[in-house]
Structure 1
Amino acid sequence: MAAVFSFISVLAAWIALYWDSFPPLLRRWNTDDYSYCWLVVPLALYVAWQRKDLLPKVITPSAGSAYAALLLTGVLFFLGKASAVDALVFVSMWLCVVALVLFIYGWRSMKAFFFPLLVLAFAVPPPPFINRTLTFKLRLISSDISVRIMQFIDIPVFREGNVIDLGVIQLHVVDACSGLRYVFPTILLGILMGYWFNTRTWQRVLVILATVPTAIFTNALRIAIVGYLARNVSVETAESFFHDASGIVIYLLSIVLLAACSLLLNLIGGRKPEQRAGSRPGYYGQPAGRALHVFLMAVVLGVYFAGNMYLLSGRVVPQRVSFDNFPMALGDYAGKREYYGENILKSLGSDDYLAGVFRDDKSGRDILVLVTYYDYQEPQRAAHNPVSCLLGGGGWSLASSRDIPADPEKGLPFRVRRLLLDKPGERLLAFYWFQQRGRVITDEYMNKIYLALDSITRRRTDGALVRVELLLRDNESVEQGQKVLENFIKSFSSKLKPYIPE
């Protein structure tokens, strides 16, 4: 009875602690890239049931390791909340399950539980910066391989960045076509295939290593098939295949290729008999000790919950002037305000924003401006690196990204991050910076560090992301465009102080 009460207590405490983290986690699961996560928990439970015979006859809780894991759970939870990084909160969810396993079964049972916990880790979507890094690289790799496949079968094709020109159609290999949505489920598939079909460690490792090349190749083959259909059948058929059936077909091909790899490795290296603990999986242990530790775990989780509520209740939201009052005439610049629809505002998650186009009367140049301000920042509602937004559509590719140091003599009052994006026939120059609680920061990781520190020491997480953009002319150099933006920032930034508290 004590064991049941302890387990119910820790389950209730776990749900209460992470209650507000479930919606953002499920939203990530509902995206095309991470829809496979819905299958992860049932798979982990099934694998754990399969390995129950590996449990030792005598089960002893590993209290020391479990409390260390529980302490790390709290550190990741509060760090994720303070720095508005939900990936850390999601990892703490998983680590909490690990701590519970250690409290109940101990390290001696990890032979049975290590693999199910590894599978369960795939329920945690990776942080956005990993997505961005992988997406940028995968788009170019997939584009390059698909062009090589088409050239091999004598299809005339030309590639510039992530744009594939087939003459009759142009394929823009945007983020959704990068193949990222196939990479993580294919890795999980490789891990499961290696576990189920191969018994030697080196065979399992090779199957896992084959997963990423398989995902990249099959995605490139998908793009090449679209090119073949466009040239030899019809553009309509190609577009229909590209948007409808190709994902299922390609993932089935990945399964076939990995299964063939697993079978080939078995033929080469053979299988060895698996050693099981025996036909009787019965075991015994010390239920009183385990129940006490599990109940104490529930108490610790309750303390974490109370601490989070205390931090939220003491949050400071400084007074400021609304961007509705921002002047749209700045010296030689005349601005026209823009207003976003409900869907865009929901994706921004900001409390206030300024969007518009400022035109220089002398040169006729248009400068696009977007400032998003947050009274407080939290996971799924925070200023973030705008690269993913700029590259999210329209066929843009990132040509360069670097910091521009402050140069008050030339009009640049502080350091900014410069982005150069391009696509056939167009180039976009963008400056951005995080202006938060009296600091101007260009590195998003330093911004997260200061966000966490200020959340603890000053109880403030307010701040803004400022973005200015300029379309470069045909014969205009990057340096010339940079001077245009620097001149604008000199006038624009001096007006921001009442709207972004120091």
Structure 2
Amino acid sequence: MSPFAQVISAIAAVLVWVVGWYFDTAREISSIWWRSDTFAHGLLVMPISGWLVWRNQDRLAGLSMRPALMMVVPILAAGFVWLLGELASVASVTHSALAFVLVFSLVGALGFRIARALAFPILFLLFGIPIGEFLLPVMMDYTAEFTVAAVRLSGVPVYQEGLHFVIPNGRWSVVEACSGVRYLIASLMVGTLYAYLSYRSFKRRLLFVIAAIIVPIIANWLRAYMIVMLGYLSDNRIATGVDHLLYGWVFFGIVIVLMFWIGGHWREDLDPVVSPARVATSEEGRPGLLRLLPLALAISVPPLVLHYVEHSELLHPTVVSSVPPLSLAAPWQELQAAPPTKFKPSFMGYRQDSLRHYGDGAHAVSVYIASYANQQPGHELVQSQNALLMPNDSNWSRLGEGSGPDSGSGRWLATRMSGESLKAVVWSGYWINGRLVTNDYLAKGLLVLERLQGHPDASAFCAVWATGDDEAHAIAALQAFQQANGGALITQIAAAARSAEQ
């Protein structure tokens, strides 16, 4: 077997071994590639990486495979991060950790000399990680701010409220598709590949990658401004339907082509082919299976630990078949008719949820509880698709948020919102085994600690809100409800957190 064939065989064996042990996570990643427009580029990552390995086979001449057993340490470290991600049900962590397990395993199996020659093809695999949605809120905010500022500079009056703004002949909103995240991720991957193929010096490669990050962000801001101005100048006859997206992608394509054209002026010749000093024999290049055993064991340890933890009877909560009704203090009672508001937290993947409305004759509040007991993939409490208010909500705008009152088990998060004719104040939080927290990372951290200690996963989300003509009226309603029924509400959240009904 030739040295290059040995390398290909080793890469295939590592890929099969890693995917076999982390099959559920690998399947999640591939399903995201298939269904998500944002991460569809992941389908090309492995084919491109394989082509790059084939393209660099001349660099492997004279190199023999000598497994780097010290890679056991980073493999175990990445695997431990994957384990924490699984226990906390954080998909982005498990997906990223698996990619690093694969990269470290390839380096360990191939050895440092071959891995150095194939460094870019191996590291290119990291572009397959479906991560980046956390940038959505920030990039949407900046896109809205730039668009509003640019439209005003063009002499058009604008009234802005969060991600929504109104001009004389139309109402516009910056939604997820307008954030530019898709442009950024696609540009970064293609730009990095272009820099590697076109330049030799690290400086030029780095500068082009930086340009591949900055250019799509600015291009997206200009695209949003162009769309709004086209709609305004045409009295909404163009750039308000399907052509809205068409113009955006055409504009982005032109910008990327121009970026590559400009970058081509500084193109360097490709690295010269290395003349082989010697060719490793198959006996010299074929590592013994026993030498690969430590690497194989390091890959398998985290999934085995997870299997043990998940099958421990301690981690399965004592469930209740249904959530008991809230024990209200007089004169509070449940309202059959919902208050005049279309608001409801945007949560999915729950075991069960409930939305009820209560009043005392002078005030009215709404209570939403979603149970996430014994979290599993697709049933995570904290995930990108769960939010009090989604960025593209057309009925409500977030005005601000801060620390709310003490519930007795932790402080609420107080969020101020505005609708077309109403103001709303929402108290919300995550319930993690007896504690109310408001930070996503703290909630995930607490869940990991609870599960590592063998405690059952009793998790839920709760939101209590009131609406009115002004915030003062809404706050008064919430305070009255808290004073009369705060303890009963905590009891109901705890009961809902133990529920496992689908």
The 3-state SS of whatever aligns with 2:94 is: helix
Partner in structure 1 of residue 425 of structure 2: 429
Mapped to 2, the partners of 1:187 and 1:236 lie a distance apart of: 34
Mapped to 1, the partners of 2:291 and 2:415 lie a distance apart of: 53
What is the letter of the counterpart of residue 372 of structure 1?
A: A
Deviation at residue 170 of structure 1 after TM alignment: 0.9
**CA shift in 2, pair 1:471/1:256, >3 Å:** farther
Query: Would the aligned equivalents of 2:227 and 2:239 in 1 still touch at CA under 8 Å?
Result: yes
| CA displacement 1:15-66 (0-9 Å, x = unmatched) | 3322222343234322232222222222222223223333362334342332
Residue 104 (structure 2) aligned to one of 96, 99, 102: 99
Partner in structure 1 of residue 381 of structure 2: 383
Partner in structure 2 of residue 245 of structure 1: 246
**CA shift in 2, pair 1:6/1:36, >3 Å:** closer
Deviation at residue 497 of structure 1 after TM alignment: 4.0
What is the letter of the counterpart of residue 317 of structure 2?
A: P
Counterpart mapping for 1:47-196 below 5 A: 47-55=52-60, 57-126=62-131, 131-132=133-134, 134-151=135-152, 153-196=154-197
Mapped to 2, the partners of 1:496 and 1:63 lie a distance apart of: 51
**CA shift in 2, pair 1:298/1:65, >3 Å:** closer
| Unpaired runs of at least 5, structure 1 | 339-343
Mapped to 2, the partners of 1:27 and 1:283 lie a distance apart of: 40
Mapped to 1, the partners of 2:37 and 2:9 lie a distance apart of: 39
The 3-state SS of whatever aligns with 2:183 is: helix
What is the letter of the counterpart of residue 131 of structure 1?
A: E
Bigger Cα displacement from structure 2, 379-388 vs 105-114: 379-388
Counterpart mapping for 1:450-461 below 5 A: 450-461=446-457
Mapped to 1, the partners of 2:86 and 2:352 lie a distance apart of: 21
**CA shift in 2, pair 1:259/1:404, >3 Å:** same
Query: Would the aligned equivalents of 2:66 and 2:285 in 1 still touch at CA under 8 Å?
Result: no
Mapped to 1, the partners of 2:21 and 2:94 lie a distance apart of: 10
Mapped to 1, the partners of 2:21 and 2:280 lie a distance apart of: 32
Partner in structure 2 of residue 493 of structure 1: 490
Residue 20 (structure 1) aligned to one of 21, 24, 28: 24
Partner in structure 2 of residue 341 of structure 1: none
Query: Would the aligned equivalents of 1:323 and 1:352 in 2 still touch at CA under 8 Å?
Result: no
Deviation at residue 84 of structure 1 after TM alignment: 1.1
Partner in structure 1 of residue 404 of structure 2: 404
Query: Would the aligned equivalents of 2:430 and 2:460 in 1 still touch at CA under 8 Å?
Result: yes
Mapped to 2, the partners of 1:497 and 1:322 lie a distance apart of: 13
Corresponding pairs, count: 483
Bigger Cα displacement from structure 2, 345-354 vs 376-385: 345-354
| CA displacement 1:435-457 (0-9 Å, x = unmatched) | 22222323222222221122222
Partner in structure 2 of residue 351 of structure 1: 351
Query: Would the aligned equivalents of 1:226 and 1:238 in 2 still touch at CA under 8 Å?
Result: yes
| CA displacement 1:74-106 (0-9 Å, x = unmatched) | 212211111111222212321222233223322
What is the letter of the counterpart of residue 313 of structure 1?
A: H
Query: Would the aligned equivalents of 2:68 and 2:108 in 1 still touch at CA under 8 Å?
Result: yes
Partner in structure 1 of residue 306 of structure 2: 308
What is the letter of the counterpart of residue 64 of structure 2?
A: I
What is the letter of the counterpart of residue 51 of structure 1?
A: N
Query: Would the aligned equivalents of 2:316 and 2:374 in 1 still touch at CA under 8 Å?
Result: yes
Mapped to 1, the partners of 2:190 and 2:10 lie a distance apart of: 35
Bigger Cα displacement from structure 2, 175-184 vs 393-402: 393-402
Query: Would the aligned equivalents of 2:426 and 2:466 in 1 still touch at CA under 8 Å?
Result: yes
Mapped to 2, the partners of 1:239 and 1:309 lie a distance apart of: 51
**CA shift in 2, pair 1:219/1:273, >3 Å:** closer
Mapped to 2, the partners of 1:501 and 1:202 lie a distance apart of: 56
Deviation at residue 471 of structure 1 after TM alignment: 2.8
What is the letter of the counterpart of residue 370 of structure 1?
A: Y
| Unpaired runs of at least 5, structure 2 | 339-343
Is 2:320 the partner of 1:321?
A: yes
**CA shift in 2, pair 1:498/1:148, >3 Å:** closer
Partner in structure 2 of residue 361 of structure 1: 360
What is the letter of the counterpart of residue 490 of structure 2?
A: S
Is 2:388 the partner of 1:416?
A: no
Mapped to 2, the partners of 1:372 and 1:166 lie a distance apart of: 38
What is the letter of the counterpart of residue 462 of structure 1?
A: A
Partner in structure 1 of residue 215 of structure 2: 214
Mapped to 2, the partners of 1:156 and 1:404 lie a distance apart of: 36
Mapped to 1, the partners of 2:487 and 2:345 lie a distance apart of: 28
Q: Give TM-score scaled by structure 1 length.
A: 0.83
**CA shift in 2, pair 1:486/1:236, >3 Å:** farther
Query: Would the aligned equivalents of 2:162 and 2:397 in 1 still touch at CA under 8 Å?
Result: yes
What is the letter of the counterpart of residue 16 of structure 1?
A: G
| CA displacement 1:224-252 (0-9 Å, x = unmatched) | 22223322335253222455413431331
Mapped to 1, the partners of 2:388 and 2:61 lie a distance apart of: 51
Bigger Cα displacement from structure 2, 193-202 vs 163-172: 193-202
The 3-state SS of whatever aligns with 2:107 is: helix
Mapped to 2, the partners of 1:337 and 1:327 lie a distance apart of: 17
| CA displacement 1:217-276 (0-9 Å, x = unmatched) | 222222222223322335253222455413431331331242144135x1xxx7366344
What is the letter of the counterpart of residue 33 of structure 1?
A: T
Residue 268 (structure 2) aligned to one of 267, 271, 276: 271
Percent identical pairs in the alignment equals: 18
Partner in structure 2 of residue 469 of structure 1: 465
Deviation at residue 202 of structure 1 after TM alignment: 2.1
Query: Would the aligned equivalents of 1:322 and 1:352 in 2 still touch at CA under 8 Å?
Result: no
Mapped to 1, the partners of 2:352 and 2:425 lie a distance apart of: 25
Mapped to 2, the partners of 1:52 and 1:472 lie a distance apart of: 69
What is the letter of the counterpart of residue 316 of structure 2?
A: V
Deviation at residue 279 of structure 1 after TM alignment: 7.3
The 3-state SS of whatever aligns with 2:217 is: helix
**CA shift in 2, pair 1:459/1:364, >3 Å:** closer
What is the letter of the counterpart of residue 44 of structure 1?
A: S
